[in-house]
Amino acid sequence: MAETTDPKTTAAPAAKKKEKPPAVEDKPFGEFIENHFIPDLQTALKDNGIGDMSLKFLETNIPIKGLESQSCWQIQGSWLNNKRQFIFYFIDGDIKGQKAWSFATNGCPHSTLESFMIDERRVSLPLMVAYVLQRLNSQKWLTLN
C-alpha cells in the first residue's frame, strides 16, 4: 500500500513578509514637500525645458483680492525673471486635503483661485508632479500647441 502524505505537514512554513517602508506620501507634510516633491518637480521642469524655475515652500497669506486674510502652505514658482508665476496651495496643510492653484504673468497679480486635484482619492508624488506639469502645459507655458 502506498503511503500518503498530508500536504499540510510537509509544506515549509510561510516566510515572514518583509515590512514595507512607509510610502513617501505618508511622511510628514513639510518633509514630503521639501525632500521629495520640490526636487522631483524641479527635475521634471528641467526635463521640460524650464531650467530657471525658482520654487519656494512657505506658509503665507493667499495673494488674491478678498482672500488676503487667509493663510496656508504654498509652493510658489516663478521663472523668466518673474514674468510667469504660479502658486500651488495646500489649504489644509496636507497633501490629502484641499488644494488650489493660481497663476500670474508679466507682473500682474494673481486673480483667480482654482481648485486643483479635486477628483483624486489617492494622491501620490508622481501624480502631483504630473498635475503641475499638466496645469503649466494648459497655460502653454511648457510647449506651444
3-state class of 130 per DSSP?
A: helix
**pLDDT score, position 36:** 96
Per-residue pLDDT of the chain (145 residues; tens, 9 = 90+): 555 555 555 555 566 677 777 788 889 999 999 999 999 999 999 999 888 889 999 999 999 988 888 999 999 999 988 899 999 999 999 999 999 999 999 989 888 888 888 887 889 999 999 999 999 998 888 875 5
Cα 65 from Cα 142, distance rounded (Å): 28
Instruction: Assess contact for 53 and 42: CB atoms under 8 A.
Output: yes
DSSP state of 139: T
142: cell is 511648457
Q: Using only the alpha carbons of the chain, give its radius of gyration.
A: 23
β-pairing, 99-105 vs 84-90, is antiparallel
